[in-house]
Amino acid sequence: MRRVRAMSDQKFLEKFFALGNSYWLTRFVILRLLGFVYAVAFLVAANQLVPL
């Protein structure tokens, strides 16, 4: 049982780190960080608009 699981884990890791899927996590993180920066910039601009 343990050997079968080790083989399935190994196949999962090989599939996970395949050449075609190498940048999906990086792309996901960068897009989320960019969205966060835009949200903060919008909130700052909205906060500055009120006194004007």
Taken in order 34, 40, 43, 45, the sign of the CA dihedral is negative
* pLDDT for residue 23: 85
| Mean pLDDT, residues 21-33 | 89
- Mean pLDDT, residues 38-51: 93
CA distance 17 to 23: 9
pTM of the complete model: 0.55
Q: Locate the domains of the chain by residue range.
A: 19-52
What's the pLDDT band for 33 if we cut at 50, 70, 90? very high
Decide if pLDDT at 13 tops 90: no
Q: Determine which of 13-17, 24-28, 35-39, 41-45 has the lowest per-residue pLDDT on average.
A: 13-17
